[in-house]
Amino acid sequence: MAAKIKKGDTVIVIAGRDKGSKGEVLKVIPDENRVVVRGVNVVQRHQKPSQVDAGGLKRFEAPIHVSNVALADPRDGKAVRVGFKIDDKGRKTRFAKRSGESIDV
């Protein structure tokens, strides 16, 4: 199956605690159907000190399920579904179903 959401995409959270927030996809975890989005699902964890790190309270983005995010439309920034089509050069590209705008450049 082709990936509808890739690293570097701008997505909108459509469900959960951070509903409505936008962010860039930092990491995709396809085995678990999860993505890590900048500024979304930020959690705090206690970290023991090590030789490299001082430890203490650390804040980081936890993974969020891919069904809870939607790609932002390149035209107007609203949430949009993703479709696939073959371009004139024979490459498979993603496009926004609502506006028809191409996502892959």
**Quick check: is 66 in a domain?**
yes
52 part of a folded domain: yes
C-beta of residue 32 within 8 angstroms of C-beta of residue 54:
no
**Cα–Cα distance for residue pair 18/45, rounded to 1 Å:** 19
Q: Which two tokens stand for residue 3?
A: 């990936």
pLDDT at 1 over 60: no
Average pLDDT of the residues in 28-46 = 96
Residue 61, both tokens: 């983005």
Question: What is the separation, in whole angstroms, between the first and last Cα of the chain?
Answer: 20
Q: Give the mean model confidence (pLDDT) for residues 38-44.
A: 96
For residue 84, is it within any domain?
Answer: no
Q: Which domain holds residue 34?
A: 10-79
Q: What is the pTM of this model?
A: 0.85
Structure tokens at 32: 């678990």
pLDDT of residue 2: 61
The CATH number for 23's domain is 2.30.30.30
% of the chain surpassing 90 pLDDT? 81
Q: Is residue 95 part of a domain?
A: no
CA distance 38 to 40: 6
What the block records as the tokens of 99 is 């506006």
> Do the Cβ atoms of 33 and 65 come closer than 8 Å?
yes
Mean pLDDT rounded to a whole number for the chain? 92
> How many domains is the chain built from?
1
What would the pLDDT profile of 70-102 be if each residue is shown by its tens digit? 999 989 999 999 999 998 899 999 999 988 888
